[in-house]
A = this chain, B = another copy of it.
Amino acid sequence: MSLTIDDFVQKEESTCSYGMDDYTTEAARWCKGCGGHGALGALQRMLRDNQVHPEEVVCVSGIGCSSRFPHYLRAYGFHTLHGRALPVSVGVSLARPELKLLTVMGDGDCFSIGGNHWLHTLRYNINSMVMVLDNEIYALTKKQVSPTSRIGTVSNTSPRGSYLEPLNPLSVALGISNISFIAQTASWLPGHMQATLEKAWKHKGLAFVRILQRCPVFMPNAFQGGSVDFPGKFLESPEGIPVDKGILRDAPVVAHDPRNINAAQAVAANSHMEKEPLGLIYYNPEVPTYSDIRYSKVATVDRKAKAKLLDDYLTRYSVES
């Protein structure tokens, strides 16, 4: 059941009370061919299919091309600072656990300057879908090497080729306690991307989705240009993400148990040197979310009771003689 972009356009015409427009502000101002368009479209379709109330969606982002995302989505949004989307998301999730929270970052944003928040927010397991649009480059600042750039990447700060093996976000994430959902998809696979986002959306906890993203302007050669030749492999499991090969010419499908951390680590290891896994890599819906943990211990008290309690506390400090 592989769908092309056209199929999706078809599907979009089916009637329902929230249409695509209800999730759209202005035309997205990314470059032609930018993977951002595909990711935004996949998200909007998913929201439409699930008839999510736009006002209940909060989209928090950092700074980068990718982080323009909230401006194009009709929802509440917070376009924060470079690397700092996740702390703001933690705040939103603690403040309003009932809102539907989406965090969008770029690879530099999340893995370089934002690395510490990434590490710790995965451990908090806040209830948010977290999308990283990973184009393996700093795009907004016009082409500097990113932690996920392949070794030898020619960029403006590495004009003679970059020096280091790339960071593998999947294997790092898999080393963090309390992870509950890790998936990977690609911006040129609309069907798979939408299915991935749908699964992530429905996950209670932090659903970390790395989206391999085309940046035809500054990183045209990454991911075989996001072409039919991209060397992916689909992970298949009963509770996983439906395989949807899209345009890919030959991408094997392998059985994978996303509940098994060791299997997940094996799949993730060296992913950038072998075939990139696509689908649900790790899944543990039992991990409690941070707000659930915290609020299970927080009393519900009204104004009156609170005032009374405060007065009682003051008595502890009283020095009535």
Q: A residues touching B (Cβ–Cβ < 8 Å)?
A: 112-116, 119-120, 123-124, 147, 160, 163-168, 171-178, 261-262, 265-266, 268-269, 290, 293-294, 297
Contacts and interface: CB of A to CB of B under 8 A. Distances in A.
A173 B178 CA distance: 16
Integer count of this chain's copies in the complex: 2
A49 to B, nearest CB: 34
Contact of A147 (B123, B165, B262, B290): B123
Q: Say whether chain A's binding surface is mostly helix, strand, loop, or mixed.
A: helix
10 contacts: A115-B120, A116-B119, A119-B119, A119-B167, A123-B167, A164-B293, A168-B176, A173-B175, A175-B265, A262-B269
A83 to B, nearest CB: 9
B163 A293 contact: yes
The 6 closest A-B CB pairs, nearest first, are: A171-B175, A175-B175, A115-B116, A116-B116, A172-B175, A165-B177
Contact of A297 (B113, B160, B164): B160
A160 B164 CA distance: 44
Contacts of A168: 175-177
Given A120-B147, A171-B175, A175-B268, 14 more contacts: A112-B120, A115-B115, A115-B120, A116-B116, A119-B119, A120-B167, A165-B177, A166-B177, A167-B177, A168-B175, A168-B176, A172-B175, A175-B175, A261-B269
